[in-house]
Structure 1
Amino acid sequence: MGRHIYICDDEAGILRYLQKMLLSQGYEVEVFSSPLRLLRHLEEGAAEEPAGLLLLDMKMPELDGIDTLRRVRELRPQLMVVMMTGHGTIDSAVEAMKLGAYDYLSKPFPQEKLFTLVRHCFEREQLIEENRQLRSELKNQVDPGTIIAESPAFRKVIDLAVRVAATDSNVLILGESGTGKEVVARAVHRASHRNEQRFLAVNCAALAETLLESQLFGHVRGAFTGAGQNQKGILEEAHGGTLFLDEIGDVSPALQAKLLRVLQEGEFIAVGATRPKRVNVRFIAATNKDLEKEVAAGRFREDLFYRLNVIGLSLPPLRERSEDIEPLALHFLSKMIPKTGSSVRRIDAEALAALRAYAWPGNVRELENVIERGTILADGEVMTPEALPLKLTGCARPPVAEDGPLPLREAERRQIVLALRETVWNKSQAAILLGITRKTLDRKIKEFDLSPAAAGDLS
């Protein structure tokens, strides 16, 4: 919005007085002794001209303040207006407010009252602008290109995430590995009022219990061997922001009890400490486990489950959102081009069909890996099925002999031979095609007694 102020009053002395006062406070000021001149200026002004604030006199000979206000609202609806009057009544003030005036001042008014009102106007507009930016950021978070959500199943999840973002309620995100649980968690954080604070994520399955406890709660010097100094935990670092607990279903019962205290009381005790610390954190947890079954089996605390599951978001697997496969693939392609330096610019129809037909057990993460691989292996500007793993193309279909299915061992041999032939005996690329390690491929080549000559022989 800036700090631009227009003043319209037919009394030259008032104009000079207000201009001098407001210039001394660092505002940009334009004065108009005629409402018609003001309206002409607003009508002819450039669209990018600052919105700002208008101090408008109620009683002027050419056009009164109410009629001027009506015209101003038509020309610049975003312009904040404060009415000034020495002859005002409650009725005229109410009418001005109904027409969109922010407030009014009765002449004569002290400097401090004017300064306070002007400051409040700009603070209000700053909040409006911040909310507009927040809505824009939220839109970016849920629109294709950031979170691809063209399928009805995933769109429903994102719509709920939008509503959740405005609250401080804890969120539990359920879904298979690779479905984008952390992406959704970050989107909820960025769209919340905590978005200027930190978003911290911890993978609860990646750390041993004692290390995870120290990471979460911090520790004091001497708490355990090697604890040479006090160390803040992630909880304390996330104060005011959001903490994402990934793979919450793998947390031990003892640590579950300590997390429950944080959720219930808003406080925790660092490892080795005796005094609790208070913390204000929004929790978003995620797991690929069925926590209700874990609760029934006694492996997960029921009270912790309900504390986390205030709002539940269940992410559908990629195989249930086939409408998103193509836009996701194109999104990842645009992301990978600068990363890999590839010349690929598009994916051909046959390759897209193969992507859509695949079941994607690794979900979105697997698709991203496949597209990255495709940008590296593709020849030219078009990604074709040849750049995709064999499991996505027709080569991945189990080999069948004329008189019925081949024995499993022979089918495996043929798949390896196909990969070696396709890559002209490039073992590294063949291993990628087959989805196995180079070491495994070397072992299979030795087991089947294969040689470069065999790459052209399927008999």
Structure 2
Amino acid sequence: MAKILVIDDEEAFREGLIETLVDLGAEAEGALGVNAALSMIDKKKFDVIFIDYRMPGIDGLEGIKRIQAKDGSKNTALVMITAFLDSQNTIAAMKLGAFDHLTKPVSRADIKRILDKLGSNVPPQARAPANLPDRADPYALVGNSPELREVLKLIGRLSSHDSSVLISGETGTGKELVARAIHRNSERASAPFLAINCAAIPENLLESELFGHVKGSFTGASHDRKGSFQMAEGGTLLLDEIGDMPLSLQAKLLRTLQEKEITPLGSNKSIKINVRFLAATHQNLKDMIAKKEFREDLYYRLNVVDIRLPALRERSSDLPLLARHFLDQSLLEKALPQKQFTPRALAKLSSHTWPGNIRELKNVIERASVVSNGPWIDEEDIRFLMERETRTPLQESLDLPSAIAQLEKAYILRALKEAAGNRSEAARKLGIQRQLLYTKIKEYRIDS
């Protein structure tokens, strides 16, 4: 029978949780605060401790630290509970070694899930605390949805590990933000973080960008140049859109991951590196492996830990928080007076499907912050978002080449809209090369 302690200054909640735990077959008792709990821990060993985040005097995070300092609490599973959830206290709790993180009101199913996990001998891992990024940080992960909370918990657990991580999700879901959070909550936080977009760099330049080159290695190489691996020394390197990396470079990358060394372009000397490697993609790499477009051995080397980011439509409860966050950022950057959303504006934002995800939402909010008059952003200020796409009817007088050009322009405009202006993503949606899309944009005088 599991021995459980509940630390919470709210008597009704504390007694209710104890009753649920006893009903589920545990032996449970309560403490009003951290000091009372520490006295109880001195006299008795507990298997699980539920601790409230916000309490008078010593809060939950400090309480976790003090409990962990007790000799008899090394293997005790700690579960943080809070009614004031944000992304940073989730990450902080998991970094300190919390077994899980729950939001009030806590359901019976949540409690049973935790007890079942503990019954499977899932051990908590002790982690050293580190400074958290400022909540006003433009790289903050914003939201309280269960889907995002699972991502935040995993980031916290990864803080003391140096494993490679593969971050997957649709375009615009915030994969680079997750990569930055992993870096900034790790022991490498004071070292460089570099992000390289494999889709944005021409194939013939990508190798030099990553591995560097020596003078004379190719036409125009007038001096030695360090690549991204060397520039990120001691820190973290994110390869975004890893699925766009050519097969020839995938083999060289695999060797780098295995041997922890690189060979600059044009050189025959290897250089040892100390870099944590993260990768991100919006593509299904397993499908690409089946089509011989991605190396299977590289996939398994990258996918030591997998983080899948939910699309915005899958975490719609976060939309008001994200909208407020992006509005605050835009007002600050543009030195604009304070503004608020009307309920009608928020309802209209919530009804959109957001094919461009968080990136699209950010662009929409930035535009609304500029075009709106007065202190309120109303539905009229975001009507451009909801207007149905008007299909341009083909003029009967057009010859075939003109009709094809008109249809082609319409498809390009739609792809750019769905990709929130991201040309690389629009090219993938259209099934054409980026350079061809650039040519067509110029030809049709499209402002993307």
Pairwise TM-score range, normalised by the shorter structure? 0.5 to 0.7
The answer to whether structure 1 residue 327 and structure 2 residue 333 are counterparts is: no
1:218 CA drift (Å): 0.6
Q: Deviations over 1:79-98 (max 9, x none)?
A: xxxxxxxxxxxxxxxxxx99
- Select which of 303, 307, 311 maps to 1:309: 303
* Aligned residue number for residue 274 of structure 1: 268
Task: Give distance in 1, aligned partners of 2:148 and 2:252.
Answer: 33
Task: Give distance in 2, aligned partners of 1:354 and 1:145.
Answer: 26
* Aligned residue number for residue 6 of structure 1: none
Closer/same/farther in 2, CA of residues 354 and 262 from structure 1, 3 Å limit: same
Task: Give distance in 2, aligned partners of 1:251 and 1:187.
Answer: 24
Task: Give distance in 1, aligned partners of 2:136 and 2:330.
Answer: 21
Identity, % of aligned pairs? 45
> In the alignment, is the contact (CA less than 8 A) between 1:253 and 1:299 conserved in 2?
yes
TM score, norm. by length of structure 1 = 0.57
**Structure 2 counterpart of 1:174, which letter?**
S
> In the alignment, is the contact (CA less than 8 A) between 1:174 and 1:315 conserved in 2?
yes
Task: Give distance in 2, aligned partners of 1:408 and 1:226.
Answer: 47
> In the alignment, is the contact (CA less than 8 A) between 1:145 and 1:331 conserved in 2?
no
Structure 2 SS opposite 1:323:
helix
**Structure 1 counterpart of 2:205, which letter?**
L
Task: Give distance in 1, aligned partners of 2:325 and 2:344.
Answer: 18
Q: Deviations over 1:349-391 (max 9, x none)?
A: 0000011110001100110111100010001000111111423
The answer to whether structure 1 residue 388 and structure 2 residue 372 are counterparts is: no
1:343 CA drift (Å): 2.7
Show the 5 A alignment for 1:225-236.
Answer: 225-236=219-230
TM score, norm. by length of structure 2 = 0.58
1:210 CA drift (Å): 2.2
* Aligned residue number for residue 217 of structure 1: 211
* Aligned residue number for residue 191 of structure 1: 185
* Aligned residue number for residue 132 of structure 2: 137
- Select which of 156, 164, 179 maps to 1:162: 156
Show the 5 A alignment for 1:69-80.
Answer: none
* Aligned residue number for residue 368 of structure 1: 362
Show the 5 A alignment for 1:356-435.
Answer: 356-392=350-386, 396-397=387-388, 409=393
* Aligned residue number for residue 344 of structure 2: 350
1:146 CA drift (Å): 2.0
1:165 CA drift (Å): 2.2
Structure 2 SS opposite 1:243:
strand
Closer/same/farther in 2, CA of residues 133 and 381 from structure 1, 3 Å limit: farther
> In the alignment, is the contact (CA less than 8 A) between 1:142 and 1:158 conserved in 2?
no
> In the alignment, is the contact (CA less than 8 A) between 1:249 and 1:287 conserved in 2?
yes
Task: Give distance in 1, aligned partners of 2:226 and 2:174.
Answer: 29
Structure 1 SS opposite 2:158:
helix
The answer to whether structure 1 residue 201 and structure 2 residue 195 are counterparts is: yes
Task: Give distance in 2, aligned partners of 1:132 and 1:173.
Answer: 22
**Structure 1 counterpart of 2:157, which letter?**
R
1:132 CA drift (Å): 10
Show the 5 A alignment for 1:59-98.
Answer: none
- Select which of 326, 330, 338 maps to 1:336: 330
1:207 CA drift (Å): 0.9
Runs of 4+ in 1 over 4 A off after TM superposition: 131-134, 140-145
Structure 2 SS opposite 1:215:
helix
**Structure 1 counterpart of 2:331, which letter?**
I
1:345 CA drift (Å): 1.7
> In the alignment, is the contact (CA less than 8 A) between 2:143 and 2:321 conserved in 1?
no
Task: Give distance in 2, aligned partners of 1:270 and 1:201.
Answer: 19
Structure 2: state its 5+ residue gaps.
1-61, 64-69, 72-95, 97-125, 395-416, 422-440
Task: Give distance in 2, aligned partners of 1:143 and 1:280.
Answer: 27
1:339 CA drift (Å): 1.6
Task: Give distance in 2, aligned partners of 1:192 and 1:237.
Answer: 18
Aligned-residue RMSD, C-alpha: 3.3
**Structure 2 counterpart of 1:157, which letter?**
V
1:408 CA drift (Å): 6.7
Show the 5 A alignment for 1:278-297.
Answer: 278-297=272-291
Closer/same/farther in 2, CA of residues 254 and 397 from structure 1, 3 Å limit: closer
* Aligned residue number for residue 428 of structure 2: none
1:239 CA drift (Å): 1.4
Structure 2 SS opposite 1:285:
strand
Task: Give distance in 2, aligned partners of 1:157 and 1:369.
Answer: 24
1:142 CA drift (Å): 12
**Structure 2 counterpart of 1:324, which letter?**
D
Closer/same/farther in 2, CA of residues 276 and 398 from structure 1, 3 Å limit: closer
Task: Give distance in 1, aligned partners of 2:145 and 2:138.
Answer: 11
Structure 1 SS opposite 2:336:
coil
> In the alignment, is the contact (CA less than 8 A) between 1:344 and 1:383 conserved in 2?
no
Task: Give distance in 2, aligned partners of 1:380 and 1:322.
Answer: 27
Structure 2 SS opposite 1:313:
strand
Largest Rg, 1 or 2? 1
1:243 CA drift (Å): 0.3
> In the alignment, is the contact (CA less than 8 A) between 1:141 and 1:187 conserved in 2?
no
Structure 2 SS opposite 1:202:
strand
* Aligned residue number for residue 398 of structure 2: none
Q: Deviations over 1:275-308 (max 9, x none)?
A: 1111111111001000111111110000100111
Structure 2 SS opposite 1:321:
helix
* Aligned residue number for residue 124 of structure 1: none
Task: Give distance in 2, aligned partners of 1:353 and 1:191.
Answer: 35
Aligned residues: 282
Task: Give distance in 2, aligned partners of 1:339 and 1:389.
Answer: 24
Task: Give distance in 1, aligned partners of 2:155 and 2:135.
Answer: 10
1:215 CA drift (Å): 0.8
1:397 CA drift (Å): 4.8
Structure 1: state its 5+ residue gaps.
1-76, 79-96, 99-127, 400-406, 411-431, 445-459
